[in-house]
Structure 1
């Protein structure tokens, strides 16, 4: 099992069936991995548990073969059922400390929208944070207000564990996000909704890698 410190967080791709242009989760993620996605998260909010397990199992097999860490959103039970590398939970999901107890040494990611939430998540056992939304995002219209680059910078300065920035990030603003010192970016529509998923992924990973080389 990978530890958070050894994971390559540069480009974290999250599935969304509604944005995938009729393509399956597997088709999208296969194309994203070809383009250089470094972490994959399965997110499906409105399907049955049985369907979730089936889809997650397909992605687990794909990511296992390609060596890409595989995270399940929200559902600790599904993550355990398919032997995922980890689970990512939000502020309204299972308490972080309880999730940690259930998943053992698997990766535990937590969404944080403020410095206080970030500090609490670290204290409760998070391995990495998904911080945002940095910008307004169409994939989560009911999300918390954007924290902006300044908010992201503040959290990065205070938190030592890996941070993946999320929310409205795409090819036009990825560079300024990475300049805050975060470990990577998490994207949905910028990759999943692209006509050419592999090309979109390749462009993003190139931007992230170039900026990280400059600031290291």
Structure 2
């Protein structure tokens, strides 16, 4: 499966665990053509997350999508997820590669092209840049210039993901500038019709 297309990231408030809302919402996004799902949770224990992660992995398999887990290497191994996403304060990517072997490793590069080049040299599979707009889920994130996508496409061989405050109109521009993936949190989970919104994002990659 290629690292391209619409990428959704779960959120403890917007995809709550009560009544399995996280599973219902993610399945709607998958029905709409989502290609990558990331489980991101900064508060619960691995033990709490294991049953949800296993079900999310099964849903992703059912719809032919990739399942990535934010930060938690042990959880990736426990549920045999497709890969991990690492931020600057998370596990070192070169150590993650030794443990995860040929699984996918994605790394946040914020607005830092040099970091992205270095990460590519460490054999990570994709990098993310952002925030391109002010983000409701990460209000402290620094907004960066969209020109970084153009520069990154010129110097990187690995796929590039754009993230941060993205809606459908903004996504169109970011894809036109070279983003291989668009990662969204608020705009997908707050949509009245998640499946339809996912379809609209997915069409940008056809």
TM range (shorter): over 0.9
1:195 maps to which of 174, 186, 192: 192
Does the 8 A contact of 2:31 with 2:63 survive in 1?
Answer: no
1:112 maps to which of 109, 113, 130: 109
Within the alignment, does 1:40 sit opposite 2:37 as a pair?
Answer: yes
Following the alignment from structure 1 to structure 2, what is the Cα–Cα distance between the partners of residues 69 and 20? 18
Does the 8 A contact of 2:67 with 2:81 survive in 1?
Answer: yes
Following the alignment from structure 1 to structure 2, what is the Cα–Cα distance between the partners of residues 121 and 52? 28
Alpha-carbon RMSD across the aligned residues, in angstroms, is: 1.5
Within the alignment, does 1:133 sit opposite 2:131 as a pair?
Answer: yes
TM-score by length of 1: 0.89
Partner of 1:213: none
Partner of 2:88: 91
Task: Classify the secondary structure of the residue corresponding to 1:18.
Answer: coil
Deviation (angstroms), 1:118: 0.5
- For structure 1, list consecutive stretches of 5 or more residues without a partner in the other structure: 1-5, 211-216
Partner of 2:6: 11
Does the 8 A contact of 2:9 with 2:185 survive in 1?
Answer: yes
Following the alignment from structure 1 to structure 2, what is the Cα–Cα distance between the partners of residues 141 and 124? 30
- For structure 2, list consecutive stretches of 5 or more residues without a partner in the other structure: none
Deviation (angstroms), 1:175: 0.9
Following the alignment from structure 1 to structure 2, what is the Cα–Cα distance between the partners of residues 9 and 24? 26
Within the alignment, does 1:185 sit opposite 2:187 as a pair?
Answer: no
Does the 8 A contact of 1:165 with 1:186 survive in 2?
Answer: yes
Does the 8 A contact of 2:9 with 2:40 survive in 1?
Answer: yes
Following the alignment from structure 1 to structure 2, what is the Cα–Cα distance between the partners of residues 79 and 29? 18
Does the 8 A contact of 2:3 with 2:159 survive in 1?
Answer: no
Aligned residues: 203
Segments of 4+ in structure 1 off by > 6 A? none
TM-score by length of 2: 0.93
Partner of 1:54: 51
